Amino acid sequence: MRTGFLLTLFIVSFTTACQKDKECVPPPLAQQIINSWNAKLVSEKDKSQEMTFKSDGTLKESKGLIFGAYGNPTCNWELDQDLVILNARFSNGNIERYECSVISRSCDQIILDVEGLDQMELNKK
């Protein structure tokens, strides 16, 4: 009886451990990026902000991580394969554009190269 109990306990423990080891496969970038993220530039590790990529192509920065907080920019995003293109139009008519290539992705994180100037970490909220 005791041997049967120990064998059952071992099988349950082994099965549970194997289920936890399943590696998450991130969805396609077009689906994954539509979310709210804790975002930070690698050069400014202490300055995490919220960025929200909406399904209608608009982008909201909580404190202007990429485009700054001045000039009241209207921001949007689009994808071109593994490029995340960020655009902003400012109240004075100026336009800024950054093409960010994907360095790596996991289920809860996307790391982008911001045109070789910096790297941006997006961590799922």
pLDDT in tens, 42-82: 998 778 899 999 999 999 999 899 998 788 899 999 999 98
Q: How does pLDDT run across 92-120, given as a tens digit for each residue? A: 999 999 999 999 999 999 999 999 999 99
10 is a domain residue: no
Query: What pTM, to 2 d.p., does this model score?
Result: 0.79
8 is a domain residue: no
pLDDT of 76: 97
pLDDT of 22: 74
Averaged pLDDT score across all residues of the chain: 87
Q: 11: part of which helix (H) or strand (E)? A: helix 2-20
Question: Rounded to an integer, what distance in angstroms lies between the CA atom of residue 66 and that of residue 105?
Answer: 20
Query: 3-class SS at 49?
Result: strand
33: pLDDT strictly greater than 70: yes
99 is a domain residue: yes
User: What residues does 46 pair with on adjacent strands?
Assistant: none
39 is a domain residue: yes
| Owning domain of residue 98 | 25-124
Q: How many domains does the chain have?
A: 1
73 is a domain residue: yes
pLDDT of 43: 92
Q: CATH number, domain at 112? A: 2.40.128
